[in-house]
């Protein structure tokens, strides 16, 4: 121990000053200075929007960056540095490349569902293997950029990550063809962290019809008996049932079977744009009864059916407001579909643009509903958090009741001629 000599007193004074400086400066250093990203958003983010999105997480339901990683780099993460603004990057400068970490920060993204998607061509062949590769690259991506991203699997995990200033990162699988009609594969995806599965992509599976309906694969519209078991097993696991991409009848069947709220991870309103991928009002009303959420897609093709006019932020706001009017403010969210499409509305060009949706909603036009801060927090992510909490509660209730894993096998007749890659037994 040092005695109270002059040098020791001076040293202690210096140390004390350093501690005071650190106490003051460290919290400031740990805070994200979002103002440094404002230029990436194209224009300043209004203070009231920044305050809103700093207080409550913005959760996007669907980003296809992993698919672009497969297409552009063959899943080689070393090919691109996502800590940089990649708008003009030689590798990442593609028509459907809208995402990097600086722009996620500029967009105030609090949580992101990263999509493990493989093309429908892989159905009945190597869909499972390719899906596992996509899950692997997502996990490696999150780990590589762990300063900004945190892998989470629960609703509480999203909120904890948000409090720490990181972007909560969750796994999802887009397309039921990725389980190869095997419940065991579905269970293993859950073990790997997958927290929702879209029942179909643009192709039907042997147990669920897609939108538009694919008559070459499935003769029964909607969910087969095995398809209904898939939904029940997802309930038992605590995996959200995603009804984007499925046919109208599959939506109705799933809503009739599920014990937990459903989601539409990236869908818009059919009444505003009558594209087959959008959600009809009858289903919106059932989603409200179910307690689910429709997360609005920004893709121009889905939100603007009048091709003589360009899609804008106003176009997307029309979809958000319509879903609010029909289903209620508790049942609408955001699932933009960045990196999965190649044409976004004016003003929503990339993931830096989310704040301007909220700015627009804060300034309603005549006849539009008024959004208060609580409403806007629900849209941003609170509705999705509520759904995920409820899905977890249903899982726990089923476990308490002793519901065991479903062991159903798909009837061979449901597979038709698509058995070349299956062995007997």
Q: Which of 177, 201, 248, 275 is catalytic?
A: 201
Q: Which of 60, 64, 180, 242 is catalytic?
A: 64
342 noted as active-site residue: no
245 noted as active-site residue: yes
Helix (H, G, I), strand (E, B) or coil at 173: strand
Q: Which of 337, 350, 392, 414 is catalytic?
A: 337
State the residue for tokens 């999802």. Answer: 172
67 noted as active-site residue: no
Q: Which of 100, 148, 174, 350 is catalytic?
A: 174
Spatial neighbors of 263 by CB under 8 A, at least 6 apart, are 61, 196, 240, 241, 242, 243, 292, 293, 294, 295, 333, 384, 387
Q: Which of 266, 319, 322, 331 is catalytic?
A: 266
Helix (H, G, I), strand (E, B) or coil at 264: strand
266 noted as active-site residue: yes
148 noted as active-site residue: no
136 noted as active-site residue: no
* Distance of alpha carbon 410 from alpha carbon 224, whole angstroms: 10
The residue among 53, 103, 154 whose CA lies nearest residue 388 is 154
The residue among 348, 272, 350 whose CA lies nearest residue 312 is 348
Greatest pairwise CA separation for the chain in angstroms: 91
* Distance of alpha carbon 298 from alpha carbon 316, whole angstroms: 6
The residue among 56, 387, 336, 67 whose CA lies nearest residue 195 is 387
Stretch (H or E) spanning 198:
strand 194-198
62 noted as active-site residue: yes
Q: Which of 67, 148, 159, 245 is catalytic?
A: 245
Please say whether the beta carbons of 76 and 177 come within 8 A: no
The residue among 73, 295, 96 whose CA lies nearest residue 196 is 295
Q: Could you list the active site residues?
A: 62, 64, 174, 201, 245, 266, 337
């Amino acid at each position: 121990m040092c005695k109270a000599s002059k040098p020791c007193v001076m040293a202690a004074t210096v140390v004390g000053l350093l501690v005071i400086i650190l106490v003051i400066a460290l919290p400031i250093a740990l805070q994200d200075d979002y103002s440094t990203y404002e230029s990436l958003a194209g224009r300043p983010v209004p203070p009231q929007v920044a305050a809103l999105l700093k207080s409550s997480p913005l959760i996007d339901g669907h980003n296809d960056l992993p698919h672009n990683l497969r297409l552009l780099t063959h899943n080689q993460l070393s090919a691109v540095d996502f800590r940089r603004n990649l708008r003009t990057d030689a590798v990442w400068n593609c028509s459907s490349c809208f995402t990097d970490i600086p722009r996620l920060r500029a967009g105030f993204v609090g949580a992101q569902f990263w999509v493990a998607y493989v093309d429908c061509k892989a159905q009945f062949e190597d869909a499972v293997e390719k899906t596992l590769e996509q899950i692997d690259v997502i996990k490696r991506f999150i780990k590589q950029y762990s300063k900004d991203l945190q892998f989470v699997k629960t609703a509480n995990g999203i909120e904890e990550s948000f409090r720490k200033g990181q972007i909560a990162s969750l796994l999802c699988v887009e397309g039921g063809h990725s389980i190869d009609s095997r419940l065991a594969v579905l269970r293993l995806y859950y073990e790997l962290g997958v927290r929702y599965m879209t029942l179909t992509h643009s192709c039907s599976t042997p147990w669920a019809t897609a939108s538009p309906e694919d008559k070459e694969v499935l003769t029964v519209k909607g969910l087969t008996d095995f398809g209904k078991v898939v939904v029940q097993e997802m309930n038992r696991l605590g995996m959200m049932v995603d009804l984007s991409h499925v046919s109208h009848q599959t939506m109705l069947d799933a809503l009739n079977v599920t014990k937990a709220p459903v989601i539409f991870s990236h869908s818009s309103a059919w009444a505003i744009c009558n594209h087959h991928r959008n959600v009809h009002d009858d289903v919106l009303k059932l989603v409200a009864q179910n307690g689910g959420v429709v997360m609005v897609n920004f893709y121009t093709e889905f939100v603007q059916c009048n091709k003589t006019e360009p899609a804008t932020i106003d176009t997307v706001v029309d979809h958000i407001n319509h879903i609010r009017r029909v289903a209620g403010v508790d049942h609408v969210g955001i699932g933009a579909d960045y990196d999965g499409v190649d044409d976004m509305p004016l003003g929503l060009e990339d993931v830096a643009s989310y704040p301007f949706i909220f700015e627009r909603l804060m300034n309603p036009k005549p006849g539009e509903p008024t959004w208060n801060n609580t409403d806007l927090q629900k849209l941003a992510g609170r509705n999705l958090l509520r759904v995920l909490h409820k899905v977890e509660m249903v899982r726990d209730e089923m476990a308490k009741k002793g519901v065991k894993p479903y062991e159903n096998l798909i009837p061979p007749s449901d597979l038709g001629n698509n058995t070349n890659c299956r062995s007997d037994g």
